[in-house]
């Protein structure tokens, strides 16, 4: 029986048409096309023709100014020093808008009451967690009930701390970094009101709870030690629901835990 | 040096649009995502000085589109556990045509950002399981080592198996 020929990935065809594959890779793609009974030159010609059609339908004269406007709209207002804000800008761009909903006014039935770990009167950056519902977003307080499949939106209000990150730990002991999305430095916090993350987060089947943390500092800080602290806390089932992250005094942290009743706690890994 | 965004768009705009469209299956969403790819490129311009930035732009397009797909899924589908198992069990390079099909939405929906490299790992998984690229091709197109790609995909498969085991346990509880 003849082994079926696997189609050549479209990605590689695009790269072939761009002329960006090295000689060996290009030859391999052409050979595989031939094995599949396709003419490589015709495939490339089709892509180039498609390019022309798409550029006619989406001309640079219209798209490029729109791209520039978007980029400028995301530019930081606090400072023009791009190196300072790069992490936040990168995270926002990569995370993309999952639902581009205006912030709107959330329901106040469950007023957000963040559990702050530092208990003095100094204004702290505030963590906000919303549940998306058909009739709008509802702000969730610490201890609010949640279930698998809930779509939650994370947000913060900056209060004097310039850098931060958002992560969560769950009843299975898993640590999830929500923002910034890439490794490296904490993101630059946006001043002036509430800032929502570009992406929403869907709760999974992890049992018992999902606890969200906003960790901030006055100076840039690396993400990795904070993630490590979260893993350390998540590995202590007796403390994971309430105790602060084991971080030094240069950090501020605040958290909101959502309880998941009906989901039995399982042994943490 | 300022990025020639118009030149970049003229050369890569259609490529990026086709990529976004193939993942999102929605013309309007794909057009919007395409603009986002180039907004990201403006911010990444230092990394675009490469002679052949097509691979980087395709990776950004993939990542952005998967993020968008993930956000669109608001309710779990009953068949997720089965799909997860099929993907987790797809051992052959590139996976079967069937596993590619089921992997598309599942990867977008279920992959958790358990570590700072989550987004790129998801993109690598999509390249391998959905696009059907070999590990060598994924490594070349992402600038990583083959062993690095293999390690990340192993983590993904382990996570999917875990998910499946969790689903089975819940089913057993429901039936008892």
pLDDT in tens, A67-118: 988 888 766 543 322 222 233 333 333 332 222 222 333 332 233 333 344 4
B73 token code pair: 């899924």
A21 pLDDT band, cuts 50/70/90, is: very high
Q: Which of A268, A248, A243 is nearest to A117 (CA)?
A: A243
A215 vs A85: CA distance, rounded Å: 17
Asked whether the beta carbons of residue B112 and residue A50 sit closer than 8 angstroms, the reply is no
Any chain A CB within 8 A of the CB of B22? yes
Within 10 angstroms of residue B2's Cβ, the number of other Cβ atoms is 6
Residues of chain B with CATH 1.10.1740: 5-72
Question: Which residues, including other chains, have CB under 8 Å from residue B166's CB and lie 6 or more apart?
Answer: A205
B17 vs B7: CA distance, rounded Å: 16
Per-residue pLDDT tens digits for A120-138: 344 578 899 988 776 667 8
Classify residue A119 by its DSSP letter: -
- A214-to-A126, A235, A249 alpha-carbon distances in Å: 8, 19, 15
Asked whether the beta carbons of residue A70 and residue B39 sit closer than 8 angstroms, the reply is yes
Any chain B CB within 8 A of the CB of A69? no
Asked whether the beta carbons of residue B58 and residue A11 sit closer than 8 angstroms, the reply is yes
User: Which chain A residue lies closest to B38 (C-alpha atoms)?
Assistant: A67
Any chain A CB within 8 A of the CB of B168? no
Asked whether the beta carbons of residue B44 and residue A148 sit closer than 8 angstroms, the reply is no
Minimum distance, in Å, between the CA of residue B96 and any CA atom of chain A: 9
What is the predicted pLDDT for the residue at A123? Answer: 56
Q: Which of B167, B160, B172 is nearest to B79 (CA)?
A: B167
Residue A193 has pLDDT above 60, yes or no: yes
- Residue A195 pairs with which residues in a beta bridge? A156
A255 pLDDT band, cuts 50/70/90, is: very high
A232 vs A227: CA distance, rounded Å: 9
Model-wide pTM > 0.90: no
Percent of chain B at pLDDT > 90 equals: 20
A253 vs A114: CA distance, rounded Å: 10
Asked if residues B109 and B122 have their Cβ atoms less than 8 Å apart, the reply is no
User: What does CATH list as the number for B5-72?
Assistant: 1.10.1740
User: Which chain B residue lies closest to A132 (C-alpha atoms)?
Assistant: B74
């Amino acid at each position: 029986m003849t082994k079926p020929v696997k189609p050549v990935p479209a990605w590689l065809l695009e790269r072939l048409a761009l002329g960006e594959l090295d000689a060996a890779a290009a030859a391999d793609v052409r050979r595989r096309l031939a094995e599949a009974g396709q003419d490589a030159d015709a495939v490339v010609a089709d892509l180039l023709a498609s390019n022309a059609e798409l550029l006619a339908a989406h001309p640079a004269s219209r798209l490029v100014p729109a791209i520039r406007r978007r980029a400028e709209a995301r530019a930081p207002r606090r400072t023009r020093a791009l190196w300072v804000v790069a992490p936040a800008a990168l995270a926002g761009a990569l995370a993309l808008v999952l639902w581009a909903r205006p912030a709107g006014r959330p329901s106040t039935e469950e007023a957000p009451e963040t559990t702050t770990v530092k208990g003095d009167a100094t204004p702290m950056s505030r963590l906000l967690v919303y549940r998306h519902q058909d009739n709008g977003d509802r702000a969730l307080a610490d201890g609010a009930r949640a279930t698998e499949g809930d779509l939650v939106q994370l947000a913060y209000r900056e209060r004097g701390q310039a850098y931060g990150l958002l992560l969560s730990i769950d009843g299975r002991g898993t640590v999830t970094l929500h923002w910034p999305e890439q490794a490296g430095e904490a993101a630059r916090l946006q001043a002036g009101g509430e800032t929502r993350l570009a992406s929403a987060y869907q709760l999974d089947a992890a049992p018992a709870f999902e606890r969200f943390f906003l960790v901030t500092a006055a100076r840039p800080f690396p993400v990795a030690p904070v993630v490590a602290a979260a893993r350390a806390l998540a590995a202590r089932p007796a403390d994971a629901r309430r105790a602060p992250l084991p971080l030094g005094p240069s950090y501020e942290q605040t958290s909101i835990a959502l309880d998941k009743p009906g989901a039995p706690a399982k042994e943490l890994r | 040096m300022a990025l020639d965004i118009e030149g970049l768009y003229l050369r890569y705009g259609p490529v990026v649009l086709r990529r976004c469209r193939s993942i999102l299956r929605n013309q309007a969403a794909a057009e919007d995502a395409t603009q986002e790819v180039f907004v990201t490129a403006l911010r990444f311009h230092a990394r675009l000085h490469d002679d052949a930035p097509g691979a980087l732009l395709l990776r950004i397009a993939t990542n952005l589109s998967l993020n968008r797909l993930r956000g669109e899924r608001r309710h779990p589908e009953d068949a997720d556990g089965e799909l997860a198992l099929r993907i987790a069990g797809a051992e052959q390079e590139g996976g079967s045509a069937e596993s590619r099909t089921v992997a598309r939405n599942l990867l977008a929906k279920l992959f958790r950002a358990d570590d700072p490299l989550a987004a790129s790992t998801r993109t690598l998984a999509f390249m391998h399981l959905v696009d059907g690229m070999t590990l060598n091709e994924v490594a070349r197109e992402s600038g990583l080592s083959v062993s690095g790609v293999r390690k990340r995909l192993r983590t993904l498969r382990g996570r999917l198996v875990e998910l499946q085991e969790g689903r089975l346990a819940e089913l057993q509880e429901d039936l008892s």
